[in-house]
Structure 1
Amino acid sequence: MRKIFILLVAILSGAVQLHAQGYQITIQLKNYTSGKLYLAHYMGKATYLADSADVSQSGQVILKGKEKLLPGIYLVVLPGKQQYIETLIDKHQTFSVSIDTTDLVRKTVYKNSPDNELFLSYNRFLAEQEALSRGIQQQLAAAKTAADSAKAAPLQKELGDKIQQFRSNFIKEHPGTILATMFLAMKEPEVPKEQPKGDSLFGYHYFKGHYWDNVDLQSDRLVRTPILEGKLAKYFNQLVAPVPDSIIPECDALLARTRKSKETFKFVLWWLTYQYETSPYMGMDAVFVHLVEKYYVAGDAFWLKEDQLNKIIDRAYALAPNLIGKQAAQLDFKDTTAHLQSLYKTPGKYTVLVFWDPTCGHCKTEIPRLDSAYQASWKNKGVSMIGIKTEGTQDEWLKFIREHNLKGWVHGYEPQAATNYRRLYDVYSTPMIYLLDEKKKIVAKKLGVEQLQAFLDRNTAKKDNAKL
């Protein structure tokens, strides 16, 4: 399926207009007399173009605009797009920089940009540590005994500790700077060594509870860096239980903390919406629907045009009726003999409802596999199979059923599409598979044969144990 949020990337990267004096960055390049230089910025882990200009015969480039750039880490991409330097943009946006491509770290010089002078000193420190790290890696590669490796391991840890110490000292010595803000955000909570006895989850709860303490969510400074997206990914992928009932309140709580920064709110809401609209895990569409209903319908997605907003809302409304736990929509259809059948009149402890197309390549593989599992196992568990034709001719459909001996199924089609099943069951591709319980409530969807088998084995075992 073509994902709705692909079209939002360009919108997300658009700068909010600010009434300010603008920016002017003068760049002097050594060994360049032509070409085009680009200024890009991070948006999460991706990068987007912010400005560009031609290189003069004297190697000079002037980038300027009437409105200030939003703060963050920008990339000065040299002609040919093979080399770049990272540059900090914050409050002071009129400065100059001299770049020598023979050594981008040691020979770059800034003027009238205290933030970048500090950033450059950090990058030079990192370059020194990386040189030491390479030496340690070579030592490890040449190690012949465990004792040799043991000697190198503490050195590697010492380097890591030195970097952390550099950042901690920087935060104390340069509070309020954009680099200090980034270092604080990168710092993870330190779990107390003394922990309550008998509480094996204390460390997890402490780490999770203090995860956002040092992250500036009330200004725009972290949006145009890779840091905020990294923090979001770790929190929601590793620390939050992967079920909608846990994810939804976490989304709301985090978004509430971003309200003072339009850019941070916009990015976090976009990231969460995209994360759960495109999630490969079953049931995550409930999070997407919640976010759309609470924020997009309410008009909080201020950056979207009306037609873009309507596409997102329509997508959520299409998903809402068939979320996990919802009652399956009524479905009437004709069987292979043109007799009227109904989903709710088809008994079964479970019902596997499959929308499929006899001309679809994936269906040609999956439908026989579903039937094999049904004949070998599911039939004995009280499972009913309902297959609904979505495309293909009547002859192609009947021929496929005969050739693959799909016995025991209730086969159906809807010649007039009177029940609007495509919308009610979000049938945008085939095969589309739903698992319904005895009362025709949706308990799983979009599962493969192996996943369905595991789900049915697990749940029928639970029911059998409950009877004992």
Structure 2
Amino acid sequence: MKQLLVIALLLVSTFGFGQKIRFKVEGVKDTTVFLTKYYGSKLFYADTAQMKGGIVEFTAKKDLKPGIIALLMPGQKFFDVIYNNEEISIETKGPDFVANMKVKKSEENKVFIAYINYLQEQRKKANEIAERRKKFKEGDPEYKSLGGQMDSISKLVATYQTDLQKNNPTKLVSKIIKMSMDVTVPEAPKDASGKVINPNYRYEYYRAHYFDNIDLKDDRLVNTSVFGSKVEYFFGKNMLVQHPDTILAFAFPFCDQLDKKSEMFKYAVDYITNTFAKSNIMGLDKVYVLMVERYYCKKDAAGNSIAYWMKDKEKLDELCKENEIKKRLVQGVVPPNISLRDTTDVNWRDFASLKSEYTILYFWDPECGHCKKTTPKLQTLYEKKFKARNVEIFSVGKATGDDFEKWKKFIRDNKLSFINVGLTKKLFEDATADPRQFIPKYTTLEALNYHDTYDIYATPRIFVLDKDKKIIAKQLTISQLEDFIDRMQNIKDAEKLFPPDPEEEAH
């Protein structure tokens, strides 16, 4: 048994990793070079070595997974090759490293480099024909003839690709090349009169079959720039309308079909979640929030997160805790009601009971420099536009402790006539002593803790609610708010009281 274990370990060592990766690049001075690897469309460092006499050699480490790797040299010069658990020996020279490449060892790269060079050769021919065709008009015989030549080149390339895959069925290069090919889109069906039944048919077919040429069960493809670019394109503006519900309608089925233990699943979930977390497009944070809920906070049968790569349980718990707050603040959701006292410190006001067509929730701080500029502008909009058009402003100011008097003074000095409420000094002290005297008769714990409930990490902050009190917009500047309400109420050619302010937009 012990001898068998040793043999097994030797086999893992020999075939799992440890292969030699050797490059000879003519004309490069002795220097430090890097072996890099792809994860999606991004390059990451995999190893470092010294190139001497134009020669450098790496030993594949355990974490170097099959996929596309690259040799990165000074001046950001690099070239890609395929690594698939085999030894590599390649010689080349600049300036065109691929065209001058000679593959001494590596069956994958013999096929890959020949294909790349063939593709470049055919592309060069096609570009030359395209330039010649520019001299003619579409109706000219020469234009049609040259177009036919370009079609012939496309057919030659397609045949080359098909034959390559047929002749190399077990090679990674075949899957990479197939993945790079677009699906063939059939002509749109027509009715009896020859009219296209569905004008969007070709787009819808392409979208539905976009991933057909990708083996979604092969984790090696994640480690290629082709896969990363394909995913980026599909979920970007060129393919999908950048609306949260549209993105999620495709993101969920795409991720759900993948093996939950695979690298493919990890990459897809991680890419979509983080991409839309960083989006500047209003409302797309909803994609992030629902992706986190579905894939990070959801548990498997054993009670573990299906995001198996999240090893830090405390960090995961914190993420899910924060997400519970964010989930109630995305577009299309009715946020928690706020019931607090106004400046009398006696009367209670809440926004859920308002009968306005639109309600603007406004969170601010009388000591906040930006709030001091924004709040008077909001009053001008309310006085000159919103009030007459049944648009209410429900303003929640910081009024606890010493801020109570500052809050009231700012309201008086700026003649704020919209609804102003706050967690006043007295209310805070009384609620801290015994919250049951106010809950649930006058308010809720969520309202008293509005700062956490609404994730108020900075002020001012704006939410726009429709007549049903659902969130329809947020994080708008004053000029954006004015324009948004004008458009929502179909007020065409409305005079703008506040043009865009670069300083405000940068805040």
TM-score normalised by length of structure 1: 0.80
Q: Does 1:71 align with 2:55?
A: no
Residue deviations 1:92-132, cap 9 Å, x none? 2x221223235412332222211111221122224434544
Match of 1:351?
359
Q: Where does 1:78-117 land on structure 2 (aligned, <5 Å)?
A: 78=73, 80-92=74-86, 94-117=87-110
Residue deviations 1:25-54, cap 9 Å, x none? 122233345211101122222211111112
Tell me, in whole angstroms, the C-alpha distance in 2 between the residues paired with 1:328 and 1:18. Answer: 59
Tell me, in whole angstroms, the C-alpha distance in 2 between the residues paired with 1:259 and 1:62. Answer: 36
Q: Give the counterpart of 2:113 among 109, 120, 143.
A: 120
Instruction: Give the 3-state SS of the residue equivalent to 1:214 in structure 2.
Output: coil
**Maintained 8 Å contact 1:255/1:265:** yes
Tell me, in whole angstroms, the C-alpha distance in 1 between the residues paired with 2:154 and 2:229. Answer: 19
Instruction: Give the 3-state SS of the residue equivalent to 2:359 in structure 1.
Output: strand
Q: Does 1:436 align with 2:460?
A: no
Tell me, in whole angstroms, the C-alpha distance in 1 between the residues paired with 2:151 and 2:381. Answer: 52
The 3 A distance-change label for structure 1 pair 126 and 191 is closer
**Maintained 8 Å contact 2:382/2:418:** no
The letter for the 1-side match of 2:231 is: L
Tell me, in whole angstroms, the C-alpha distance in 1 between the residues paired with 2:389 and 2:151. Answer: 56
Match of 1:234?
233
Instruction: Give the 3-state SS of the residue equivalent to 1:377 in structure 2.
Output: helix
**Maintained 8 Å contact 2:92/2:101:** yes
Structure 1 unaligned runs (5+)? 1-16, 463-468
The letter for the 1-side match of 2:330 is: L
Give the drift of 1:374.
2.5
Tell me, in whole angstroms, the C-alpha distance in 1 between the residues paired with 2:209 and 2:64. Answer: 31
The letter for the 2-side match of 1:71 is: P
**Maintained 8 Å contact 1:196/1:202:** no
Tell me, in whole angstroms, the C-alpha distance in 1 between the residues paired with 2:25 and 2:325. Answer: 54
Q: Percent identity?
A: 27
Match of 1:20?
16
Match of 2:55?
60
Tell me, in whole angstroms, the C-alpha distance in 2 between the residues paired with 1:232 and 1:409. Answer: 47
The 3 A distance-change label for structure 1 pair 139 and 196 is closer
Q: Give the counterpart of 1:301 among 287, 302, 307.
A: 307
Q: Does 1:182 align with 2:172?
A: no
Structure 2 unaligned runs (5+)? 1-12, 192-196, 300-304, 432-447, 492-507
Tell me, in whole angstroms, the C-alpha distance in 2 between the residues paired with 1:66 and 1:435. Answer: 54
Tell me, in whole angstroms, the C-alpha distance in 1 between the residues paired with 2:15 and 2:481. Answer: 57
Tell me, in whole angstroms, the C-alpha distance in 1 between the residues paired with 2:479 and 2:143. Answer: 45
Higher relative contact order structure (alpha carbons within 8 Å, sequence separation ≥ 6): 1
Q: Report the count of equivalent residues.
A: 441
**Maintained 8 Å contact 2:188/2:201:** no
Q: Where does 1:41-440 land on structure 2 (aligned, <5 Å)?
A: 41-56=37-52, 58-67=53-62, 69-78=64-73, 80-92=74-86, 94-129=87-122, 131-132=124-125, 135=128, 154=147, 163-193=157-187, 195-197=189-191, 198-237=197-236, 238-240=238-240, 242-259=242-259, 262-297=262-297, 298=299, 299-306=305-312, 307-344=314-351, 347-349=354-356, 350-358=358-366, 360=368, 362-363=370-371, 366-390=374-398, 401=411, 405-415=414-424, 419-438=448-467, 440=469
Deviation larger for 236-245 or 189-198: 236-245
The letter for the 2-side match of 1:76 is: L
Tell me, in whole angstroms, the C-alpha distance in 2 between the residues paired with 1:195 and 1:18. Answer: 55
Backbone CA RMSD of aligned residues: 3.7
Give the drift of 1:200.
3.2
The letter for the 2-side match of 1:171 is: Q
**Maintained 8 Å contact 1:70/1:220:** no
Give the drift of 1:196.
4.3
Give the drift of 1:153.
7.4
The letter for the 1-side match of 2:363 is: F
The 3 A distance-change label for structure 1 pair 21 and 105 is closer
Instruction: Give the 3-state SS of the residue equivalent to 1:222 in structure 2.
Output: helix
The 3 A distance-change label for structure 1 pair 41 and 443 is same
Residue deviations 1:159-197, cap 9 Å, x none? 666544543443333334322212222222323225143
Give the drift of 1:207.
2.1
Residue deviations 1:53-110, cap 9 Å, x none? 1223x443221144262122211012x2431111111242x22122323541233222
Instruction: Give the 3-state SS of the residue equivalent to 2:235 in structure 1.
Output: helix
The 3 A distance-change label for structure 1 pair 129 and 358 is farther
Tell me, in whole angstroms, the C-alpha distance in 2 between the residues paired with 1:32 and 1:276. Answer: 42
The 3 A distance-change label for structure 1 pair 231 and 55 is closer
Instruction: Give the 3-state SS of the residue equivalent to 2:65 in structure 1.
Output: coil
The letter for the 2-side match of 1:304 is: M
**Maintained 8 Å contact 1:218/1:261:** no
**Maintained 8 Å contact 1:41/1:73:** yes
The 3 A distance-change label for structure 1 pair 119 and 412 is same
Instruction: Give the 3-state SS of the residue equivalent to 2:270 in structure 1.
Output: helix
